[in-house]
């Protein structure tokens, strides 16, 4: 049986430094604890939530993203939105211009709709799509552009002018621009395509990675009212999104401006520690630095090691959970591991010790022993 990293990580959850899922472990727990405790005391979970979602939450999301005239829709994480969007807007034979590496789960949803992706290789500078390359890739069956910004797994982000140019391309070619902004709060200068091409853009948002609520499963999308209705036809969650998740999201979004700056600062500091560690391991390198998200890829090609071997060694021997690139890239998955780092400094200290030791164990000549 091949090693099941996820199973091992979850079985040892309390001992593992969780650097494997881009989750956020830096939000002060009191941000949501009081609201969740009150909701549990009131046994709100006994009743169904209001179907369209708590109006305060809808309003907070609209204000957080700040594009007037767009209608937010709540789903069980951004994931459910991505599935609904693919189902509602794509059909057999349709093509979606996308990247590789990418968050490949979206590509799978696109395929379930009978469509397919045209994956432009972005594992080279500037490590993201460009309007020019997208334009060249648009053909007679293209229906959609998938823009993940910042990009999981590389941490590259799209400058405002590039977002504008891509949005204009979508508008001019009558394409949908699926703009996944799950990691936008980590970026220095995030820009929303919906601002430039509101009719063409469907924006997918999440509170998993910014508000640290991944386990509660809440997110959604935002589009013009007409588009939102068309996509919402594919909603299976007709009785509403988990009520405790809504309560927590309201508490987090109400106060995000007061605590997210500290999350971001700590995340960047952690990224710098990872860079210093990787710099001490000849043959390992960071394609993108600094990451504009809370994750980055560590390229292993100079070491000749498989990412699965590195993942297993780090997890089994050191309790450090990172992800092998195969989950995130068809063409380059064998070349990198992804590490995420919105984590307490103690988790980073474990990575600093574990990474050189793990590489030394797998490739003894690669890393000199410390004097």
Ligand X SMILES: Cc1ncc(COP(=O)(O)O)c(C=O)c1O
- Note the residues at the interface with ligand X (CB under 6 A): 22, 77-79, 103, 148, 152, 180, 182, 206, 208, 214, 219
Smallest separation (angstroms) from ligand X to the CB of 107: 11
Residue nearer to ligand X on the CB measure, 152 or 156 = 152
Residue nearer to ligand X on the CB measure, 325 or 356 = 325
Residue nearer to ligand X on the CB measure, 180 or 335 = 180
The pair of structure tokens assigned to 160 is 């405002």
Smallest separation (angstroms) from ligand X to the CB of 148: 5
Residue 293 and residue 150 in contact, taking contact as beta carbons nearer than 8 Å: yes
Task: Report residue 215: phi and psi, to 5°.
Answer: -70, -20
User: What per-residue string of b and e applies to 88-125 under the rule 16 or more CB within 10 Å gives b?
Assistant: bbbeeebbbbbbbbbbbebbebbeebebbbbbbebbee
Residue nearer to ligand X on the CB measure, 338 or 350 = 338
Residue nearer to ligand X on the CB measure, 152 or 343 = 152
Q: List, in sequence order, every residue forming a beta bridge with 338; answer none if it has no partner.
A: 297, 323
Q: Which residue is closest to ligand X by CB?
A: 77
Smallest separation (angstroms) from ligand X to the CB of 150: 9
Residue nearer to ligand X on the CB measure, 98 or 359 = 98
Residue 183 and residue 209 in contact, taking contact as beta carbons nearer than 8 Å: yes
Smallest separation (angstroms) from ligand X to the CB of 103: 4
Residue nearer to ligand X on the CB measure, 186 or 196 = 186
Token pair 């204000």 in the structure block, residue? 63
Residue 144 and residue 197 in contact, taking contact as beta carbons nearer than 8 Å: no
Residue 176 and residue 143 in contact, taking contact as beta carbons nearer than 8 Å: yes
Smallest separation (angstroms) from ligand X to the CB of 368: 36
**Distance separating alpha carbons of residues 173 and 200, to the nearest angstrom:** 10
In the chain, DSSP assigns E strands to: 17-18, 71-75, 95-100, 116-121, 142-148, 176-180, 201-206, 219-223, 295-299, 320-321, 323-324, 336-340
Smallest separation (angstroms) from ligand X to the CB of 106: 7
Residue nearer to ligand X on the CB measure, 79 or 306 = 79
DSSP string, 22-87: --B--S-THHHHHHHHHHHHTTGGGSPPPTT--HHHHHHHHHHHT-TT-EEEEESHHHHHHHHHHH
The pair of structure tokens assigned to 270 is 């952690």
Smallest separation (angstroms) from ligand X to the CB of 53: 15
β-strands 295-299, 320-321 pairing: unpaired
Smallest separation (angstroms) from ligand X to the CB of 201: 16
Residue nearer to ligand X on the CB measure, 78 or 325 = 78
The closest of 192, 189, 142 to 170, measured between CA atoms, is 142
Smallest separation (angstroms) from ligand X to the CB of 121: 18
């Amino acid at each position: 049986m091949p090693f099941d990293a996820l199973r091992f990580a979850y079985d040892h959850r309390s001992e593992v430094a969780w650097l494997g899922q881009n989750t956020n472990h830096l939000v002060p727990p009191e941000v949501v604890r009081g609201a969740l405790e009150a909701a549990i005391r009131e046994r709100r979970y006994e009743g169904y939530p209001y179907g369209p979602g708590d109006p305060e939450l809808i309003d907070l999301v609209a204000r957080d993203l700040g594009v007037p005239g767009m209608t937010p829709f709540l789903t069980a994480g951004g994931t459910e939105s991505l599935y609904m969007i693919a189902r509602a807007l794509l059909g057999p034979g349709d093509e979606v211009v996308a990247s590789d590496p990418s968050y490949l789960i979206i590509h799978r949803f696109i395929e379930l709709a009978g469509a397919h992706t045209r994956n432009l290789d972005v594992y080279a500078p500037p490590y993201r799509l460009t309007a020019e390359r997208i334009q060249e890739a648009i053909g007679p069956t293209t229906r959609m552009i998938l823009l993940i910004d910042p990009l999981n797994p590389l941490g590259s982000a799209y400058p405002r002018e590039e977002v504008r140019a891509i949005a204009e391309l979508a508008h001019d070619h009558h394409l949908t621009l699926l703009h996944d902004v799950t990691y936008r709060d980590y970026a220095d200068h995030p820009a929303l395509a919906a601002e430039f091409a509101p009719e063409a853009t469907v924006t997918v948002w999440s509170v998993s990675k910014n508000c640290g609520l991944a386990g509660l499963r809440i997110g959604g999308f935002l589009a013009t009212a007409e588009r939102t209705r068309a996509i919402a036809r594919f909603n299976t969650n007709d009785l509403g999104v988990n009520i405790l998740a809504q309560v927590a999201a309201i508490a987090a979004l109400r106060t995000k401006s007061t605590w997210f700056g500290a999350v971001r600062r700590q995340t960047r500091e952690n990224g710098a520690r990872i860079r210093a560690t990787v710099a001490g391991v000849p043959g390992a390198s960071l394609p993108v630095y600094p990451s504009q998200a809370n994750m980055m890829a560590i390229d292993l090609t100079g070491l000749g090691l498989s990412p699965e071997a590195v993942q297993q060694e780090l997890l089994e021997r050191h309790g450090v959970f990172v992800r092998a690139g195969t989950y995130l890239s068809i063409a380059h998955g064998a070349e990198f591991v992804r590490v995420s780092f919105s984590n307490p400094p103690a988790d980073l200290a474990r990575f600093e010790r574990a990474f050189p030791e793990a590489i030394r164990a797998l490739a003894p000549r690669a890393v000199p022993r410390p004097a």
